[in-house]
Amino acid sequence: RLPLVAICGRPNVGKSTLFNRLTGTRRSIVGDEPGITRDRIYGEVEWAGRNVRLVDTGGVVPDDEALIPSEIFRQAKVGLEEADAIIMVIDGRTEITSPDIELARLLQRGGKPLFLAVNKMDTAQLEAGAENFRTLGFKEVMPISAEHNSNIGDLLDAVWAAL
């Protein structure tokens, strides 16, 4: 069975953009495994010669801000249970919100390898600001731009090394 990496985060931070960037056309909903529902979407990515499964915990429908925080916590718990590593995505262009903090704590209690992807860092200037998010308590903090495909390889290198 391939290792599984969960993408968690509050709505609108770019989880689906990252998921689609990574899985490309191989994106799929795998319906024949126990416990899989349509509120999560599964795909597969090959990197550095290794295939890994990804789950977008935001699901198939566009994320609804109104669902926070209960829904993202429910999803994060599922991610924690089934994943071998977790990427928490945050919007690097906004302040840290209380759901971000709560989610970070929940994930940190889970004991799985954790990575903070500070997304929407579209320029080098913005990338430097990613360090501000270290206050969330993650050892691994990576600025990325899912939309512009920046630093995605570095993120995958770090995650793959933990699998």
Q: List residues forming the annotated binding site for GTP.
A: 9-16, 56-60, 119-122
Let me know how long the chain is: 163
Name the 3-class secondary structure at 142: strand
Binding-site annotation, residues:
9-16, 56-60, 119-122
In the list 54, 63, 83, 85, the residue contacting ligand GDP (rule: CB under 6 A) is: 63
In the list 81, 131, 147, 154, the residue contacting ligand GDP (rule: CB under 6 A) is: 147
The yes or no reply on residue 91 touching Mg ion (CB under 5 A) is no
The yes or no reply on residue 5 touching ligand GDP (CB under 6 A) is no
Residue 1 or residue 145: which is nearer to ligand GDP going by CB?
145
In the list 14, 40, 41, 63, the residue contacting Mg ion (rule: CB under 5 A) is: 63
Packing angle of the helix pair 70-82, 98-109 (nearest 10 deg):
20
Task: Map the footprint of ligand GDP across residues 16-55, applying CB under 6 A.
Answer: 16-17
The yes or no reply on residue 75 touching ligand GDP (CB under 6 A) is no
Considering only CA atoms, which of 5, 45, 8 is closest in space to residue 25?
45
Name the 3-class secondary structure at 50: strand
Task: Map the footprint of ligand GDP across residues 89-128, applying CB under 6 A.
Answer: 119-120, 122
Residue 9 or residue 161: which is nearer to ligand GDP going by CB?
9
Residue 65 or residue 95: which is nearer to Mg ion going by CB?
65
Cis-peptide into 3, omega within 30 deg: no
The token pair that represents 50 in the structure block: 């290794």
Judge whether 111 and 81 are in contact, CB under 8 Å: no
Burial profile 65-75: b = 16 or more Cβ within 10 angstroms, e = fewer: eebbbebbeeb
Please report, as a single letter, which amino acid is at residue 44.
E
Residue 15 or residue 53: which is nearer to Mg ion going by CB?
15
Using CB under 6 A, list all residues that contact ligand GDP. Answer: 9, 11-17, 58, 63, 119-120, 122, 145-148
